[in-house]
Structure 1
């Protein structure tokens, strides 16, 4: 492996073995090998299937879309971009085809499971918009809760003045989260809450939270949300394929 030049830097040859040693020294070798293994599994699966033919018109449209999205519509711009990427047109086209094949493989593998996954996880996939006030002491949290509920102090004002969380500058608004992303104590606390309800104090990681439910957004199996579920199922398939793979790295240590 020493005699194999992998690349040159200022005309200095870097062997394949040296490149691997650099990766090992930087701690990036495991991720590098993992990426190779993942791609090998995908390529092997693609070769084993005859049901993933891509219509040529889809390929051409994907190329057009790529060029438009990346402002490469002009032939000269596109040629310059290919040169900077060290790609021939056919290599670029093959990348587009591969991406379409992987997308189709993902659809084929996830289609039988996506409805079941969605049904099982629907409650955790529901999205919620929350605002919060976070303080260090339980007594303060209870007093602020009393002021909001009994004295009518605006939640937003209390958040700006007292919350330790970064989103205090946004009146305590956290934004949209899936229920499954929330820590268990908070997830359990908001079950059944209606928009406008204020909940707390909730003890979590040494601090005390007051929460206001702003909005519920029921999960629906469409658009970007469907794509996220497909990605999760596909990743589970990949991880299952990765199990018990025997890997040998042929690099001499001497």
Structure 2
């Protein structure tokens, strides 16, 4: 049975769908999903996996009550069979990711570890370099705490946190700040450095080394999958005008 989308009883012609997808910037996502469908098509699910897929989908979407499930189906214009297809598809995609990139994640983690490491650091910045120099010597001589001086003199948002920033990935700060933090020992205080209009003082408070735990493993597998998917979209997808005469003859 062919389905037609209607708005106020006015049907949307199928030939207009691609135009609408482009206009609403939904076409790239549709193309990705089509590539995924082709990739996961060979994957089989046992009856036990089918039941597991449905339960996982309902749990992940917090659909624990039959009334909630029915309302969700109605809102999304789905029947039970279509829901099962969606749940199974998501489960098959998870299997595809694990089977394809699970064995590669350890080496990829080593490549990405520097970006995944996190830091907590203290930051004080001012546009007056002479004040920055004076504050640095006060800190070096332990005449005041970093927290106290940052709250009083820092001209950035870090003044509200008494100079403390993080934990954040070590690559999140400005490139010069990241370089300083990567070279630092915990507690190391850096003399004022100019970055643009600012003079900044930085001290590393804590280095949190990334671990390949399960959340990180899943994050990296998804990164590898996303890179593959974007490459496949570029390679495989073409959008061309339909030759209506050829189509009719065929």
Aligned alpha-carbon RMSD (Å): 2.8
- How many angstroms apart in 1 are the aligned matches of 2:165 and 2:50? 41
Partners of 2:122 and 2:28 lie apart in 1 by 39
CA distance in 2, matches of 1:16, 1:199: 64
SS of the residue aligned with 1:108?
A: helix
TM-score between the two structures when normalised by the length of structure 2: 0.81
1:119-174 CA-to-partner distances (Å, cap 9, x unmatched) read 23323322222232232233332222222222532211222222233233222222
The CA deviation at 1:15 is 3.3
Which moves more between the two structures, 71-80 or 242-251? 242-251
- 5+ residue gaps, structure 2, are 244-250
Map residues 94-109 of structure 1 onto 2, 5 A cutoff.
94-109=85-100
Q: Distance in 2 between matches of 1:5 and 1:203?
A: 63
Q: Which residue in the other structure is 2:238 paired with?
A: 247
Where 1:181 maps in the other structure, the secondary structure is coil
Q: CA deviation at 1:37?
A: 2.0
Question: Which of 171, 176, 191 is the equivalent residue of 1:185?
Answer: 176
- SS, match of residue 78 in structure 2: coil
TM-score (norm 1): 0.80
Cα deviation per residue 1:75-133 (whole Å; 9 max; x = unaligned)? 22321221122111121121111111111111122123212112233233222222322
Matched residue pairs, number?
Answer: 242
1-structure distance, mates of 2:202, 2:11: 60
1:135 maps to which of 116, 126, 149: 126
Partner of 1:13: 11
Q: Distance in 1 between matches of 2:197 and 2:46?
A: 57
Could you list the per-position Cα deviations for residues 53-96 of structure 1 after superposition, in whole angstroms to 9, with x for gaps in the alignment? 33433442343344345453232232122112211112112111
Residue segments in structure 1 that go unaligned for 5+ positions in a row: none
Q: Give the drift of 1:16.
A: 4.2
Distance in 2 (CA, whole Å) between partners of 1:68 and 1:124 is 32
**After superposition, where does 1:1-254 map in structure 2 within 5 Å?**
7-18=5-16, 20-21=18-19, 24=22, 28-29=24-25, 32-47=26-41, 49=42, 52-68=43-59, 70-245=61-236, 247-250=238-241
Contact (CA 8 Å) 1:5, 1:15: kept in 2 or not?
Answer: no
